[in-house]
């Protein structure tokens, strides 16, 4: 199974908390770390040490999307609180759907139905929060009725 991971976190979230969140979300999806073919977050996190360390440890090239790109993706769990702080109602869900589409060279996000794990929230022992969403990356997802052409 190929999956894309969308990640969000509090500023200063340590690697250990992000690893715990990722491990739990992958388990919920029935996926393993080697199944991850894309990982993404918001441009506001492009300098986030914990996220960069996680990507390096996993061997991922992280993609960072702008708030406007993320805001254009329909998601099942939008948040006005997240919008207030980031300019988009979703980081992890939207990032996973966009990153999963990019695997196939598509600019338009995968449909919401591709989400295997929606907005998985984890609060570490350090008090920091991480959010992980996981989308299935299968080319057939681009052939759903909502994306088919007449």
Contact by Cβ (8 Å): 53, 90:
no
CATH number (domain holding residue 48) = 3.30.420.180
Say if 147 falls within a structural domain.
no
pLDDT of 144 higher than 70: no
Say if 150 falls within a structural domain.
no
Say if 87 falls within a structural domain.
yes
Specify the DSSP element, H or E, that contains 96. Answer: helix 92-102
Say if 86 falls within a structural domain.
yes
pLDDT number for residue 148: 41
Say if 50 falls within a structural domain.
yes
Q: Give the 3-state secondary structure of residue 49.
A: helix
Say if 146 falls within a structural domain.
no
Residue 150 is encoded by which pair of tokens? 């007449």
The number of distinct structural domains making up the chain is 1
pLDDT digits (tens, 9 = 90+) for 38-92: 999 999 999 999 999 999 999 999 999 999 999 999 999 999 999 999 999 999 9
pLDDT digits (tens, 9 = 90+) for 5-44: 999 999 999 999 999 999 999 999 999 999 999 999 999 9
pLDDT band of residue 141 (cuts 50, 70, 90) is low
pLDDT of 125 higher than 90: yes
Domain that holds residue 30: 3-139
Give Cα separations from 31 to 3, 20, 36, 117, 149 (angstroms).
8, 14, 8, 10, 32
pLDDT band of residue 138 (cuts 50, 70, 90) is confident
pLDDT of 105 higher than 50: yes
- What is the spatial distance between Cα 42 and Cα 133, in angstroms, rounded to a whole number? 13
């Amino acid at each position: 199974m190929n999956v894309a991971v969308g990640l969000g976190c509090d500023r200063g979230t340590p690697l250990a908390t992000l690893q715990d969140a990722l491990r739990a979300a992958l388990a919920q999806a029935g996926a393993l770390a080697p199944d991850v073919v894309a990982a993404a977050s918001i441009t506001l996190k492009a300098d986030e040490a914990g996220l960069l360390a996680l990507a390096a440890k996993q061997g991922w090239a992280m993609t960072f999307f702008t708030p406007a790109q993320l805001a254009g993706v329909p998601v099942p769990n939008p948040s006005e609180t997240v919008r207030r702080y980031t300019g988009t109602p979703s980081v992890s869900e939207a990032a996973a759907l966009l990153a999963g589409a990019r695997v196939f060279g598509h600019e338009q996000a995968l449909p919401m139905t591709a989400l295997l794990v929606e907005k998985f929230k984890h609060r570490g022992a350090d008090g920091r929060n991480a959010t992980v969403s996981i989308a299935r990356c299968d080319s057939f997802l681009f052939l759903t009725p909502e994306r088919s052409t007449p």
